[in-house]
Structure 1
Amino acid sequence: MRRRLGTGDAVTVGLGAMLGAGVFAAFGPAARSARELLPVALGIAAVVAYCNATSSARLAARHPQSGGTYVYGRERLGPFWGYLAGWTFVVGKTASCAAMAMTFAAYVAPGWERPAGMAAVLVLTWLNWQGVQRSAAVSRVIVAIVLAVLLAVVVAALAGPGHPDAAPASVAAPTPGGVLQAAGLLFFAFAGYARIATLGEEVRDPARTIPRAVTIALGAVLLTYAAVCFALLAALGPGGLAASATPVADAAAASGASWLVPVVRAAAALAALGALLALILGVSRTALAMARDGFLPRRLAAVHPRHQVPHVAELAVGLIVVALVATVDLRGAIGFSSFGVLLYYAIANAAALTLSRVVPITGLVGCLVLAFALPWRSVLTGAAVVLAGALAYALTRRGGDRPER
């Protein structure tokens, strides 16, 4: 594919993926597990994300191809590990696409979530079809708006009167396991930097651009999340934050800036669209790489002659997400998505062990600990889907349909 994206475009794609609906919703569930130790959980998630980002950036510089950890696992560990990384990414992030679509619809069309979510997926799939540069341009606008709204809420919350913590009786004191579970939930909001690595064939000078873009995007998001975390605790208190389904909007209201509430809701919907845009982009590129190797139908490897994008893979991903939005309640699938993302990065760190030691080992252990600290239903569901993917790989190999390289 054509190399059109510079560092600024790649950073924008990463920010658009990370500054999605997670920042507007993830702090509440995480606070129920960690309460006043929420900043500690955020710090743990950030350390694991940093290790993953560093490993991914080093690998992307060595292997500047579409597919991200699918390619790294295949090249550094062997075909099975590359396939498993691609499987966990495609399945988990396809579920995330549907969740982002329904989050958007819940803010803009309550009562009509499914048709509105389906329409959003179709429009963004068409936009991605038009070319990756247009997708990056839209992400740039969305990121600017979301950052401005979050900054306004942070200023209002820190300047406001503060909120005495009135913890519900059902909220238990934080435990080490609860802090790790909160870190696993918050890690989900960091995971978008992988979208930068999946664009390996579409950035200029990838050996230099991708590591720089990953570092800049992750640093900017960490600073943003830290500011939002302390602002939410100041405005709502640990108990109020734990009980809130819309913590950023509630923090604006508690700070006396009620005029910000509808703005926050609009920004949350826009952020969900930005995350959905980047997710479709990343999933389709990983599907492209797996199709090239024969692990998915080879038709998905087609590249549009004019727009230079994997249009068949994008259309397939879009239609699957539309079907999920139309038929499935995905709240339970979010836990599986987190489980899949952490396993995906565990494989990335294992692949990076062929290049260095300390950072990849820290990232690998951190990913596995956070994955198995998630709620047990999420762990069981995720493990079942991963095992199904491994079985499919074994059957494909036994049947003689070996990927061509």
Structure 2
Amino acid sequence: MPPTSDTNPPDTLRRELGLLQATALNMIDMVGIGPFVVLPLVMQLLGPYFLWAWVAGAVLSVVDGLIWSELGAAHPEAGGSYRFLKLAYGEQTWGRLMSFLYVWQTLVQAPLVVASGAIGFAQYFAYLVPLPAWWQPKLVSGTVVVLLVALLYRRIGSVGKLGVALWVGVLVLMLGLIGSGLLLGREAVPFPPLTPVAAADAAKGWFVLPALALGQASVKTIYSYLGYYNVCHLGAEIRQPARIIPRAIFLSIVGIAVLYLLLNYSVARVLPWAEAAQSEFIVSTFVERLFGHTAALAATALVLWVAFASLFAVLLGYSRIPYAAAADGEFLPVFARVHPTKHFPHVSLLVLGGAGFVFSLLFKLSEVISAILAMRILVQFVGQAVGLVLLRRRRGTAGLPFRMPLYPLPVVVAVVVWLLVLGSTGLSFVLSGLAVIAAGVVVFLISNSRQGRWPFGAQRGYSEGAK
């Protein structure tokens, strides 16, 4: 297990990321292509009440961020949820199953997340360079993934500095769009109260309660907020993690929430929501309306910069999860390998990047956003929230460097809202998520029955599995 000091042995990950770098990596993970793709979709679903979906996404992020902050500050190790689930449910029993399921899902959903960003990148790239539709998106998305792996194939200190540089591009684009809309926009922006009657009207009569009406649209906005926990995956590479991890989480959530709300407000000041809802390239259309086609091309290039920056942070964080499991003796030993001179888990990076490359060639963006959420909610988000309660009961709170306020209310709210979001993804996606979990359980049981490990035999030390 990596020590918590700033000095690590030469064969472990290095603690080289400070607050600025950790926050920057979180924020570029959160932004990505998400808001520029889903902004019109939310307007289609909620009409003039679209801002409420972004508020709902921010509230859920803050509540869930309390869970991540408490766990991340107390257990700053590589792998994030992998370690949290194992500790919470028992390192020798159910925690092994829960953490295995998380890694199992990561091998599928992490490349899907990378693929979703790469596909969105390719869609916006079509505005810049119109190429034959039958091959252009695949060529661009595949190239993006290859370039990501090449840039991440270096030590973490260099990655942190590159992350800050990419973060500057994120801020330039977001602040430029927001400032232009606020100063030059002339449209009245609606922000009506979301009453039950209004909610039913916005959802075309499907729902009668505001929470349910928001559910379908919030699936899209939550996808755009995901990433506030990325710093927990990098826990073994954060300096002073007990202090920096909670701060990075909340600085990134608050910063991105403000930027998202202002971005939506600014766009609606230039493009009426009914028109914006039909735009395929909302940022390009927005800038073209204000400054002309040449400026729209420049803005589209910045959108691509932001999308690439986000994928950079996403693949960086996810590559540490199989590494943590393998180093713990619970996964294929090859994933525990650390580059001999650059000190990063290069095998894990290459495998996830390769899978992301393949997925970017096979799937459409509309097929992966809901699937990503449906696959992760039960094991990672709900399982982790319940796990925090188990840890508190077993270990108490005396040694916690960060304790969430109003406990257990944030846990209860997070579980309820996550389950509502899961239901809002649709039955087919819920079933696909359950199928992945079931397959993982079968693989876990077969593997452990052959080794005579829990639940089939006596417990063995984790070091055996890593030999």
For residue 27 of structure 1, report the CA deviation from its aligned partner.
Answer: 1.2
The equivalences for 1:327-342 within 5 A come to 327-342=362-377
Q: 1:88 is matched with which residue? A: 105
Match of 2:319 among 264, 272, 284: 284
Match of 1:361 among 379, 389, 412: 412
Q: TM-score, normalised by structure 2?
A: 0.80
1:48 paired with 2:60, answer yes
Alpha-carbon distance in structure 2 between the residues aligned to 1:153 and 1:93: 30
Match of 1:57 among 44, 69, 91: 69
1:136 paired with 2:187, answer no
Alignment gaps of 5+ in structure 2:
1-12, 90-94, 191-200, 393-406, 454-459, 463-467
The equivalences for 1:2-401 within 5 A come to 2-77=14-89, 78-108=95-125, 110-111=131-132, 112-158=136-182, 159-162=184-187, 173-174=202-203, 175=207, 176=210, 177-255=212-290, 258-343=293-378, 344-353=380-389, 354-355=391-392, 356-400=407-451
For residue 258 of structure 1, report the CA deviation from its aligned partner.
Answer: 4.8
Kindly indicate whether the alpha-carbon contact (under 8 Å) linking 1:332 and 1:378 is maintained by their aligned counterparts in 2: no
Of 87-96 and 200-209, deviating more is: 87-96
Alpha-carbon distance in structure 2 between the residues aligned to 1:401 and 1:276: 40
Offset from partner CA, 1:103-125 (integer Å, 9 cap, x none): 22333354422223222212221
For residue 232 of structure 1, report the CA deviation from its aligned partner.
Answer: 2.4
SS at match of 2:272: helix
Kindly indicate whether the alpha-carbon contact (under 8 Å) linking 2:270 and 2:286 is maintained by their aligned counterparts in 1: yes
Q: 2:10 is matched with which residue? A: none
Kindly indicate whether the alpha-carbon contact (under 8 Å) linking 2:79 and 2:320 is maintained by their aligned counterparts in 1: yes
Amino acid at match of 2:137: E
Alpha-carbon distance in structure 1 between the residues aligned to 2:175 and 2:238: 30
Q: 1:376 to 1:292 in 2, by over 3 A?
A: same
Kindly indicate whether the alpha-carbon contact (under 8 Å) linking 2:118 and 2:145 is maintained by their aligned counterparts in 1: yes
Offset from partner CA, 1:7-57 (integer Å, 9 cap, x none): 111011101101110021111112222222222111111111111111111
For residue 257 of structure 1, report the CA deviation from its aligned partner.
Answer: 5.6
Kindly indicate whether the alpha-carbon contact (under 8 Å) linking 1:287 and 1:313 is maintained by their aligned counterparts in 2: yes
Amino acid at match of 1:19: V
Aligned residues: 400
RMSD value, Cα: 2.3
Kindly indicate whether the alpha-carbon contact (under 8 Å) linking 1:92 and 1:338 is maintained by their aligned counterparts in 2: no
Alignment gaps of 5+ in structure 1:
166-171
Q: TM-score, normalised by structure 1?
A: 0.91
Kindly indicate whether the alpha-carbon contact (under 8 Å) linking 1:161 and 1:255 is maintained by their aligned counterparts in 2: no
Offset from partner CA, 1:125-179 (integer Å, 9 cap, x none): 12212122222222222221222222222222233232799xxxxxx73354342
For residue 266 of structure 1, report the CA deviation from its aligned partner.
Answer: 0.8
Kindly indicate whether the alpha-carbon contact (under 8 Å) linking 1:15 and 1:143 is maintained by their aligned counterparts in 2: yes
Kindly indicate whether the alpha-carbon contact (under 8 Å) linking 1:11 and 1:217 is maintained by their aligned counterparts in 2: yes
Offset from partner CA, 1:229-259 (integer Å, 9 cap, x none): 2222333233223222222222223345655
SS at match of 1:184: helix
Of 350-359 and 189-198, deviating more is: 350-359
SS at match of 1:192: coil
Kindly indicate whether the alpha-carbon contact (under 8 Å) linking 1:90 and 1:286 is maintained by their aligned counterparts in 2: no
SS at match of 2:119: helix
Alpha-carbon distance in structure 2 between the residues aligned to 1:404 and 1:250: 59
Alpha-carbon distance in structure 2 between the residues aligned to 1:135 and 1:250: 33
Q: 1:32 to 1:399 in 2, by over 3 A?
A: farther
Offset from partner CA, 1:335-389 (integer Å, 9 cap, x none): 2112234332222222222344111221121111112111333223222222222
SS at match of 1:227: helix
Alpha-carbon distance in structure 1 between the residues aligned to 2:54 and 2:308: 24
**Structure with the greater alpha carbon radius of gyration:** 2
SS at match of 1:314: helix
Alpha-carbon distance in structure 2 between the residues aligned to 1:216 and 1:196: 12
Amino acid at match of 2:369: I
Kindly indicate whether the alpha-carbon contact (under 8 Å) linking 1:69 and 1:86 is maintained by their aligned counterparts in 2: no
Amino acid at match of 1:83: F
For residue 404 of structure 1, report the CA deviation from its aligned partner.
Answer: 4.5
Alpha-carbon distance in structure 2 between the residues aligned to 1:274 and 1:404: 40
